[in-house]
A and B are shown apart, each in its own frame.
Chain A
Amino acid sequence: MTQRARPLLLTSPALAVIGVFMLVPLGYGLAYSFLTASPYGGAELPLSAEGYVQILFQRDFDDSLYFSPTYLLILLRSIVLAGLTSVISAALGLPVAWFIASRPARWQGTLLFVVTLPFWVNSLVRTYCWVLLLRDQGLVNMALQGAGLTQEPLPLMYNDGATLVGLVYNFLPFMVLPIYAALERLDPRLIEAAHDLYATRRRAFLRIVLPLAVPGMRAGALMVFAPALGYFLVPDLLGGGRSLMIGNLIQSAFTSGRNWPFGAALSTLVTAGVLVFLVIAARRGRVEATP
């Protein structure tokens, strides 16, 4: 056996399974996005771009198209919420990662375990916990009313804020880990040197720790932004009808909406967007990493 043939042979089962059951279905999704919706779900010929047209336009009674921003707004909301989730997770996670990285080595493993443990819990359960906290009869509202701060329960659930809290809660560990990995390699003597040169703690943090944490934050953003964009459970349970994200839109197109080509068109759009984002981010990371 030649040296080149062996890696191919060893990876062939994975190649076959992921090729047939991941790559081919993505191709089917692309194909379905150009078909016509069947009345009871599924799709049929003739070919049509109706799925894509429906993202921006609706049909009037006389079959003329008019611009409708409903779905565009949901797309924009998804991008904004996923972006905010990345930024907030990075801001919250950076000090945590720095704290862990600057502890003695024997404590670091334990602290990382403590921070990542909730991530092992089922994501449905993690999201459901926030329903218990935020709903009208939830713990937060009971506490506020008990303290006499409000008479009526505050509408904490079914809005963009609730979705954002749920997303940050679900994705925070993804951000702490890569920032920690970047800061773990930081030489503490750099900060001693800064101190010797009369830098304040603040200045040493801003000029030394922060720049070294940036590659970690970028890696974290890759792991947070893309999955958050298409996340289903959080906007579904915490956001409700008023904070729909693209994942909910795709799900309803394939279930209650019975409009598979529309759902397939949205899926194609999101997948293309995410893959382009990842390629650009990976390129930029590589350019900056080369000295």
Chain B
Amino acid sequence: MKRAYDPTHSPGLGAYVALIILFLYAPLAVLTVYSFNGGNLVTVWNGASLRWFEAVIANGDIQDAALNSFMIAGSATVLATLIAIPAAMGLERASRRLGVALGSLFALPLLVPEIVTAVTTLVFFASIKLRLGLANLVIAHTVFCIPFAMMPIRARVRGMGETLENAARDLYAPPFAVFRRITLPLLAPAIWSGAILAFVVSLDDFVISALVGDAGTTTLPVYVYGMIRRGITPEVNAASTLMLVFSLILAGLGRSLSRRRTRR
């Protein structure tokens, strides 16, 4: 009996992984199929139809909520990215002790449970009587987007070293020219990855938007949560599926960017 030994081959492992992938995707697939149900009841199949997608897109409240979500996510992403670029460079070039201290502080939004961030921000805004509507949520979202925007940029700064920048400085390039012509182009793919991550995380947020926001700042997840609370309807399914598809598009965009980065 010939027995070529492949150390990585384990019988049944592939089947197991297939099962896990099924566990991860089946619920999303069920939702998607349900959302094409043309009937008025979620559970009774009444032929495939786009009827509920049309209802969702025509729903003015959903349009407003989606607009709020995009404005908040867009503003928070731009702010968080602009803050994260210099912070990532500073952290990677700081002394070890300072880097660890600042790094832990900047990771705080990831470490503190989301619900705590939500209620303490609520308490803080209420105490200083900050009532700026959407801007309140933009501030809250910017805070927790910063660590996500910073992650890929830090990794990139660490990976690229200072050789090229030093070469430019040796050739008498002024500091801003070094940043503009050398650092920024090298960081660009990581900046885009971080921005997409921040955008997704902001759109994903429910707890902070629900507690810190008021009647005029309902975001899409907060609105859909309210719909779910009122009852499981085909419209909820269609709205959720649209959010699902949008997330997948962003994920694909993020992946194509990170592939381009590794190819360079």
Which residues of A approach B to under 8 Å, CB–CB? Answer: 4, 6-11, 13-15, 17-19, 21-26, 28-29, 32, 42, 92, 95-96, 98-100, 102-103, 109, 113-115, 117-118, 120-126, 128-133, 135, 137, 139, 142, 169, 172, 188, 191-192, 195, 201, 204-205, 226-227, 229-233, 237, 246-247, 250-251, 254-255, 260, 263-264, 267, 270-271, 274-275, 278
Contacts and interface: CB of A to CB of B under 8 A. Distances in A.
Interface stretch (B57-65, B108-116, B187-195): B108-116
Interface stretch (B46-54, B93-101, B163-171): B93-101
B40 interface: no
A120 B247 contact: yes
B123 A129 contact: no
Residue in A7, A120, A123, A137 whose Cβ sees the most chain B Cβ within 10 Å: A120
Contact of A96 (B17, B84, B102): B17
A17 B143 contact: yes
A230 B90 contact: no
Contacts of B146: 14, 17-18
Contacts of B27: 126, 129-130, 132-133, 169
A202 B60 CA distance: 59
Contacts of B232: 131-132, 135
Interface string B228-264: 1000100011001001100110110011000100000
Contact of B86 (A11, A19, A100, A227): A11
A22 B247 contact: no
Contacts of A271: 112-113, 116
B206 A123 contact: yes
A29 B114 CA distance: 14
Contacts of A129: 27-28, 30-31, 240
B68 to A, nearest CB: 15
Interface residues of B, number: 83
A28 B127 contact: yes
A239 B68 CA distance: 29
Contacts of B25: 118
Contacts of A123: 204, 206
A271 B118 CA distance: 12
A32 B113 contact: no
Contact of B83 (A17, A188, A192): A17
29 contacts: A7-B90, A7-B94, A8-B98, A11-B94, A14-B83, A14-B146, A17-B83, A18-B146, A21-B124, A22-B117, A22-B143, A23-B105, A29-B123, A32-B123, A92-B20, A99-B16, A120-B250, A121-B243, A126-B28, A129-B240, A132-B34, A142-B43, A230-B115, A231-B113, A250-B116, A267-B120, A270-B116, A271-B116, A274-B112
Nearest to A196: B5
Contact of B98 (A7, A115, A246, A250): A7
B5 A195 contact: yes
Contacts of A114: 21
A122 B204 contact: yes
A126 B30 CA distance: 11
B184 to A, nearest CB: 14
B221 interface: yes
B66 interface: no
Contacts of B160: none
